[in-house]
Chain A
Amino acid sequence: DAKTTQPTSMDCAEGRAANLPCNHSTISGNEYVYWYRQIHSQGPQYIIHGLKNNETNEMASLIITEDRKSSTLILPHATLRDTAVYYCIVRVANTGNQFYFGTGTSLTVIP
């Protein structure tokens, strides 16, 4: 599975959009991009995933560049409860391969 690169940490003002980038320059055509987050002392929580097209759900939007070498997770109106470590993961479709969680981005939402 392709490796991902994320900034170690980011800050965001409460109520503003949080844009979390992820580079996956070696991604192949059949690899999905997943985002999970882990709030302190809790289990990881699924946010969103996509293959080629941009995706949106009630939690966030996922913007994937046309060449698929990078993506951005957007939390449209960050709240204090969004403070967490955010993991970007790529995974091959239709296999039993496991998720490789990297070091993620520690997002701090500031009041």
Chain B
Amino acid sequence: DTAVSQTPKYLVTQMGNDKSIKCEQNLGHDTMYWYKQDSKKFLKIMFSYNNKELIINETVPNRFSPKSPDKAHLNLHINSLELGDSAVYFCASSQVYLAGRDTQYFGPGTRLTVL
């Protein structure tokens, strides 16, 4: 059974389009995250949700809007895609968000390419 799954695995789209990436976890965790890994391989957190509520919102353009319909899902919607949005996006989850008890389990990633 896949613990954290993301769809799609690959996403190629034109500049200016709107796209969504879906994430689901079947671990019963309370906290979910979105990370972006750029071409230089830096992995940076974007958002974190705990019990469907936003708890971390890094400096991310407001074209990025996470949505958590329930604790098991955290989707990422991106409006007006730009070339710089090309990256691999990882979803993750943890039981809680407190350090020492927040082992994060990552999904396989979604490679977004904006042309």
Contacts and interface: CB of A to CB of B under 8 A. Distances in A.
A101 B99 contact: no
Given A92-B99, A101-B44, A43 B50 contact: no
Nearest to A50: B100
Interface stretch (B11-19, B62-70, B72-80, B104-112): B104-112
Interface string B26-44: 0000000100000001111
A87 B42 CA distance: 11
Interface residues of B, number: 25
B56 interface: yes
B8 to A, nearest CB: 15
B60 interface: no
Interface in A83-98: 85, 87, 91-98
- Secondary structure call for the A interface: loop
Nearest to B91: A43
A91 B99 contact: yes
Given A96-B55, A101-B42, A101-B43, A42 B99 contact: no
A35 B60 CA distance: 26
Given A44-B106, A96-B55, A96-B56, A49 B48 contact: no
Contacts of B56: 96, 98
A36 B50 CA distance: 22
B114 interface: no
A99 B107 CA distance: 16
Interface of B: 4, 33, 41-45, 48, 50, 55-56, 58, 90, 92, 97-100, 103-109
The 8 closest A-B pairs by CB, nearest first: A43-B106, A101-B43, A98-B45, A93-B99, A91-B99, A46-B103, A44-B106, A96-B55
Given A43-B109, A96-B98, 4 more contacts: A46-B104, A51-B100, A96-B48, A103-B42
